[in-house]
């Protein structure tokens, strides 16, 4: 057996599993729709890490390395979802938010949220999580790819097979939708 | 000659586009002027930034979940590997 096999041995690797599964799973669950998919992605990431353990450079922390592998697995997941032709053609249009002359439509004009207090952040995260679940799949995919930040926009466009314009416009429509959804939850919450 | 006045729809789109690549100088000035006089787009810009931060910070919480069964599954899968 080559000596490099001992760089990360099985016992050390098992300690990584115990030490990092919680954080990796929490991260994955916030970035995909289904919990069991999140678990599968974490498992796939650990298997890939084990199989590629010779590539693990000691100077990088196990946590950083495992996270970068997980992010790639999440990107793969959304790339596949994006390419699923079933989801296309179902997208709502942002036209509903604007008048014929492209002003904000009545009832959709953004009004400052007036955020106060750190306890509000937790609530906002809950609202965001709910609203993300309501996005059409390929908009969600575009958003997730952007915030994984493992790849630059150019590489993402190439992988998704779309133009740069198409890509930022999809992220934009998704954000308009998210803003509207979060706003309505905040309004309900205040009354 | 092009108009100095952006529509709200265009301004909102430029706010997102700007996060991907710098805007051409002319557009950048038009957007700045628009958000100075348009409260709706100014609020949109703030909220877009808040949403960016929220999106980045997802999953950093400390909610305790039991991952023991998953950890066991992973270790079993690794043990099957050789
Ligand atoms: Zn405006």
pTM of the model: 0.83
Is A90 among the domain residues? no
Domain-terminating residue out of A23, A54, A83 = A83
* Chain B residues lying within 8 Å of A47, measured CB to CB: 74, 77-78, 81
CB A50 within 8 Å of CB A13: yes
pLDDT of residue A86: 55
Same domain, A108 and A161: yes
Provide the CATH number for the domain around residue A158: 1.10.10.10
Same domain, A103 and A181: yes
Provide the domain limits for residue A59: 4-83
Same domain, A60 and A125: no
- Give chain B's residues under pLDDT 70: 1-4, 61-64, 82
Same domain, A111 and A183: yes
Give the pLDDT band of residue A93 (cuts 50, 70, 90). low
CB A144 within 8 Å of CB A74: yes
Mean pLDDT for A165-177 is 90
pLDDT of residue B1: 32
How many domains does chain A fold into?
2
d(Cα B9, Cα A21) in Å, to the nearest integer? 43
Is A28 among the domain residues? yes
Same domain, A99 and A74: no
Cβ distance B8 to A103 less than 8 Å, yes or no, reads: yes
Provide the CATH number for the domain around residue A57: 1.10.1740.10
What is the value of ipTM here, to two decimals?
0.85
Mean pLDDT for A169-179 is 92
Nearest CA to CA, how far is B48 from chain A (Å)? Answer: 7
Vertex B39, ends B35 and B45: CA angle to 5°? 55
Is A26 among the domain residues? yes
Domain-terminating residue out of A83, A117, A132 = A83
Same domain, A175 and A106: yes
Cβ distance B78 to A50 less than 8 Å, yes or no, reads: yes
Is A88 among the domain residues? no
Residue A89 has pLDDT above 50, yes or no: no
Same domain, A108 and A141: yes
Domain-terminating residue out of A83, A115, A146 = A83
CB A140 within 8 Å of CB A78: yes
In chain A, count H helices and then E strands.
7, 0
pLDDT of residue A131: 96
d(Cα A38, Cα A42) in Å, to the nearest integer? 6
What percent of chain B is predicted at pLDDT more than 90?
72
Cβ distance B47 to A113 less than 8 Å, yes or no, reads: yes
Out of B8, B21, B67, closest to residue A22 by CB = B67
- Domain map (residue ranges) of chain B: 2-81
Task: Report pLDDT digits (tens) over A22-78.
Answer: 999 999 999 998 989 999 999 999 999 999 998 887 778 999 999 999 999 999 999
Residue A118 has pLDDT above 70, yes or no: yes
pLDDT of residue A56: 86
């Amino acid at each position: 057996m080559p000596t490099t096999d001992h760089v990360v041995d099985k016992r050390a690797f098992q300690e990584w599993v115990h030490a990092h599964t919680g954080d990796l799973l929490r991260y994955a669950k916030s970035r995909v729709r289904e919990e069991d998919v999140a678990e599968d992605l974490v498992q796939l990431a650990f298997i890939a890490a084990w199989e590629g353990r010779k590539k693990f450079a000691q100077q990088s922390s196990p946590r950083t390395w495992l996270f970068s592998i997980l992010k790639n697995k999440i990107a793969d997941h959304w790339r596949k979802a994006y390419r699923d032709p079933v989801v296309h053609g179902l997208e709502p249009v942002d036209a509903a938010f604007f008048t014929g002359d492209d002003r904000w439509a009545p009832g959709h004009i953004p009004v400052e949220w007036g955020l106060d207090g750190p306890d509000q952040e937790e609530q906002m995260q809950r609202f965001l999580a709910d609203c993300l679940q309501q996005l059409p799949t390929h908009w969600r995919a575009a958003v997730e790819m952007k915030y994984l930040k493992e790849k630059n926009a150019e590489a993402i466009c190439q992988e998704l097979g779309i133009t740069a314009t198409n890509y930022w416009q999809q992220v934009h429509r998704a954000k308009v939708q998210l803003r509207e959804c979060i706003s309505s939850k905040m309004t309900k919450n205040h009354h | 000659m092009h108009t100095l006045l952006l529509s709200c729809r265009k301004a909102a789109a430029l706010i997102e586009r700007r996060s991907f690549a710098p805007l051409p100088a002319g557009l950048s000035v038009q957007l700045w002027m628009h958000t100075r006089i348009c409260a709706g787009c100014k609020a949109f810009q703030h909220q877009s930034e808040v949403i960016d931060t929220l999106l980045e910070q997802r999953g950093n919480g400390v909610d305790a979940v039991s991952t023991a069964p998953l950890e066991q599954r992973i270790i079993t899968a690794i043990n099957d590997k050789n």
